[in-house]
């Protein structure tokens, strides 16, 4: 008996941006969960999935780790017809995000090794145009007010190439934008910034009610001028950095759901698929701060950043304490192996995927057959140590050793433990140290820490491995491993050398967490400012493709609290930044 092929539910015809297009995926199967989702979304938006190479194919969609010569070798062809567009996997999500068929010639869609032929008359290679009369505004809710908001499509075009009418009509197209982000994007300082490439737009990963923003600092949008405007002070309260976040606490009624959703977020992050990972992180943060148990999908749908399918998953977890989707991920041998290899220090997604593709099944096989760097060999040898959590008490012991040794060289130096330790966590994945000294520049910091402290601690046996030393401008970093006397367990350790006049900004950056910092940076952007690990700046000028052409004028960098004051954010001690 023949199995019926699952047919993806399609969106209404007027929203089928891929209608009439025929996609061939490479690899051309749906065994990989992320690729399976891309194929389903392509079909949902009108595309035809071609199982075999044929003359009807309009696009070859290539996984990001694959190169064009590999495609040709597999297909046993010297080249593809000029009528076929070769694009990377992110092309689909970008088109869906902006509800438009984007220019395939944009750099972010290129496949390594592929040189596109000229398509002068092909509409697929030209920037899309829109008519304001062709778009029906869609309503989104923010509190009790209805505002028509849409995100400006990220197109690499100059100001001369886009009119106010077309910019407004493009802004109306995107259905899953965040009103908090969108309101501020109307500011002139944000007018030409690209939209967040990781925006969640599919039904499964719909972010739901947009309450507290956590978008990218490079977001931009346009609001139609005939729509009601919300006061800036009211909008500012919607940013996540404006609120106290203490993470999962003992007795959290939604602990089971947040744990499982965070595992899903980690899985997608590890496999390089930030699109759903961001949605799962948003939902996790929402549930962590919700005071009562969420039992049903309707209850979940009423919360910020939770869409229909995520709500269904939350309901499943509430009643079963399990999630079938997570079990499927764990049970997939290739995915499990990839996750194992990615936990090797010095091996990211690309290298881990290479080992999987080479057929290695265990870390022992990787050591025996693969070409490894010295750092990767150490990472495999101490795989268990580097992936074990470090108790808070042990972190304090490491800090005491470094602080005492440093004070013997120069008592004025200060050592601050950053990351999850500073946020009050009982365990840490690795140990991040911020090393500074009053009225001291980067040269003296390097001379004391890199030239004196590191050799001394290495000689004593405390530092057992040196992975890398980097210097860029005022920034200097040392990456290595340490081991306490009497112990055989190695711990990952990073030293960040920070000039005293940049300490405040560095403390924010190296304390985290990621969601809190992203929200703080975006809030700074809405005020015409730019925040990074070196300071808070104004009048930063960016040209085409968001390339910075002027560093701007430093507003504050030394005082962490003062940066919060300038941004009009209530002071949040590190333990309140666990979003």
**Cα-based distances in Å from 350 to 270, 271, 275, 383:** 10, 9, 18, 18
Answer whether CATH 3.30.460.10 is correct for domain 390-498.
yes
91-100, 338-347, 369-378 — which is least confidently predicted?
Answer: 91-100
pLDDT above 90 covers a percentage of the chain that reads: 50
Quickly state the pLDDT bin for 124 (edges 50, 70, 90): low
Q: What is the reported pLDDT for 245? A: 81
Quickly state the pLDDT bin for 321 (edges 50, 70, 90): confident
- List residues bridging with 151 in a β-sheet: 221
Predicted confidence (pLDDT) per residue in 463-506, tens digit:
999 999 988 877 899 999 999 999 999 999 999 999 999 999 99
Q: What is the reported pLDDT for 548? A: 62
**C-alpha torsion sign, points 294, 300, 306, 310:** positive
Listed residue (137, 113, 8) closest to 65, CA to CA: 113
Q: What is the reported pLDDT for 551? A: 78
Q: How many residues does the chain have?
A: 579
Tell whether the model's pLDDT for residue 15 goes beyond 90: no
Q: What is the reported pLDDT for 98? A: 72
142-151, 202-211, 239-248, 469-478 — which is least confidently predicted?
Answer: 142-151
> Domain limits of the chain?
13-125, 139-245, 255-329, 330-387, 390-498
pLDDT higher for 33 or 458? 458
Tell whether the model's pLDDT for residue 255 goes beyond 80: yes
Q: Determine how many CB atoms are found less than 10 A away from the CB of residue 310.
A: 29
Predicted confidence (pLDDT) per residue in 427-445, tens digit:
999 999 999 999 988 999 9
What string of DSSP letters covers 172-199? TT-SS--HHHHHHTTSGGGTTPPPPTT-
Distance in angstroms (rounded) separating the CA atoms of residues 390 and 493: 11
Tell whether the model's pLDDT for residue 72 goes beyond 90: yes
Q: What is the reported pLDDT for 195? A: 36
Q: CATH topology for 330-387?
A: DNA polymerase; domain 1 (1.10.150)
**C-alpha torsion sign, points 138, 141, 146, 148:** negative
Distant-in-sequence, close-in-space partners of 434: CB < 8 Å, separation ≥ 6? 415, 416, 417, 418, 496, 498, 503, 506, 507, 510
Q: Determine how many CB atoms are found less than 10 A away from the CB of residue 498.
A: 29
Q: What is the reported pLDDT for 44? A: 92
- List residues bridging with 427 in a β-sheet: 391
Residue the block writes with tokens 């990220």: 154
400-404, 432-436, 471-475, 532-536 — which is least confidently predicted?
Answer: 471-475
CB-count burial class (<10 Å; 0-12, 13-18, 19+) for 274? middle
pLDDT above 70 covers a percentage of the chain that reads: 76
Phi/psi region, residue 164 (left: phi>0; alpha: psi -120 to 50; beta: rest), is alpha
Tell whether the model's pLDDT for residue 574 goes beyond 50: yes
Predicted confidence (pLDDT) per residue in 357-396, tens digit:
999 999 999 999 999 999 999 999 999 999 999 999 999 9
Tell whether the model's pLDDT for residue 66 goes beyond 80: yes
Q: What is the reported pLDDT for 216? A: 36
Distance in angstroms (rounded) separating the CA atoms of residues 73 and 460: 54
* E strand intervals along 164-322: 221-222, 245-246
The three-point CA angle 304-309-315 to 5° equals: 80
DSSP state, residue 15: G
Residue 83 structure tokens: 């009528």
Residue 203 structure tokens: 């039904």
- List residues bridging with 145 in a β-sheet: 142
Residue 432 three-state SS = strand
Q: CATH topology for 13-125?
A: Rossmann fold (3.40.50)
pTM of the model: 0.58
The arithmetic mean of pLDDT across residues 66-77, rounded, is 91
Distance in angstroms (rounded) separating the CA atoms of residues 496 and 417: 10
Q: What is the reported pLDDT for 276? A: 86
Distant-in-sequence, close-in-space partners of 240: CB < 8 Å, separation ≥ 6? 212, 213, 214, 285, 515, 516, 519, 579
How many secondary structure helices (H) and strands (E) does the chain include? 23, 22
Tell whether the model's pLDDT for residue 327 goes beyond 80: yes
CATH architecture, domain defined by 255-329 = Orthogonal Bundle (1.10)
One fold for 255-329 and 330-387? yes
**Long-range contacts of the stretch 339-342 (C-beta < 8 A, 24+):** 339/267, 339/270, 341/366, 342/270
Return the CA Rg of the chain: 25
**Do residues 64 and 88 lie in contact, with contact meaning Cβ atoms separated by under 8 Å?**
yes
């Amino acid at each position: 008996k023949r199995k019926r092929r699952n047919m993806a539910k399609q969106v209404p015809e007027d929203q089928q941006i891929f209608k009439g297009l025929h996609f061939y995926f490479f690899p051309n199967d749906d065994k990989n969960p992320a690729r399976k989702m891309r194929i389903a979304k392509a079909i949902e938006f009108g595309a035809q999935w071609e199982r075999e190479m044929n003359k009807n194919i309009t696009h070859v969609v290539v996984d990001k780790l694959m190169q064009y010569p590999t495609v040709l070798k597999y297909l046993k062809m010297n080249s593809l017809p000029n009528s076929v567009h070769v694009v990377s996997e992110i092309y689909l999500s970008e088109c869906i995000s902006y509800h438009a068929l984007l220019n395939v010639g944009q750099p972010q869609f290129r496949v390594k090794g592929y040189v596109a032929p000229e398509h002068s008359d092909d509409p697929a290679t030209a920037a899309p145009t829109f008519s304001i009369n062709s778009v029906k505004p869609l309503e989104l809710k923010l509190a009790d007010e209805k505002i028509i908001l849409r995100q400006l499509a990220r197109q690499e075009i100059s100001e001369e190439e886009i009119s106010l009418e077309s910019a407004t009509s493009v802004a109306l197209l995107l259905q899953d934008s965040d009103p908090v982000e969108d309101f501020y994007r109307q500011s002139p300082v944000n007018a030409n910034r690209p939209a967040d490439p990781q925006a969640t737009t599919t039904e499964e990963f719909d972010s739901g009610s947009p309450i507290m923003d956590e978008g990218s600092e490079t977001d931009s949008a346009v609001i139609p001028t005939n729509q009601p405007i919300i006061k800036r002070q009211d909008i500012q309260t919607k940013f996540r950095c404006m609120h106290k976040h203490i993470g999962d606490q003992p007795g959290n009624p939604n602990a089971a759901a947040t744990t499982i959703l965070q595992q899903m977020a980690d899985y997608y992050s590890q496999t390089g698929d930030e699109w759903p990972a961001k949605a799962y992180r948003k939902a996790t943060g929402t549930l962590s701060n919700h005071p009562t148990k969420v039992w049903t999908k309707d209850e979940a749908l009423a919360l910020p950043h939770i869409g229909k399918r995520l709500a269904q998953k939350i309901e499943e977890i509430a009643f079963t304490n399990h999630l079938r989707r997570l079990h499927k991920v764990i049970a997939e041998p290739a995915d499990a192996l990839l996750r194992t290899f990615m936990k090797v220090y010095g091996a990211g997604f690309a290298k881990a995927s290479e080992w999987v593709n080479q057929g290695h099944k265990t870390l022992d096989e990787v050591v025996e057959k693969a070409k490894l760097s010295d750092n990767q060999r150490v990472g495999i040898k101490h795989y268990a140590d580097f992936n074990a959590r470090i108790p808070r008490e042990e972190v304090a012991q490491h800090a005491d050793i470094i602080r005492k040794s440093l004070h013997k060289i120069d008592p004025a130096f200060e050592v601050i433990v950053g990351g999850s330790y500073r946020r009050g966590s009982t365990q840490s994945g690795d140990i991040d140290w911020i090393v500074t000294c009053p009225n001291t520049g980067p040269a003296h910091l390097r001379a004391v820490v890199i030239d004196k402290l590191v050799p001394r601690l290495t000689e004593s046996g405390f530092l057992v491995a040196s992975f890398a030393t980097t210097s860029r401008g005022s920034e200097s970093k040392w990456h290595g491993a340490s081991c306490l006397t009497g112990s055989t367990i190695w711990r990952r350790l990073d030293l960040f050398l920070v000039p005293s006049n940049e300490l405040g900004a560095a403390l924010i950056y190296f304390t985290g967490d990621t969601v809190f910092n992203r929200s703080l940076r975006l809030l700074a952007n809405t005020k015409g400012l730019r925040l990074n690990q070196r300071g808070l700046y104004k009048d930063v000028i960016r040209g085409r493709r968001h390339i910075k052409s002027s560093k701007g004028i430093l507003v504050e960098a030394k005082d962490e609290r003062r940066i919060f004051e300038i941004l009009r954010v209530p002071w949040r001690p590190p333990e309140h930044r666990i979003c």
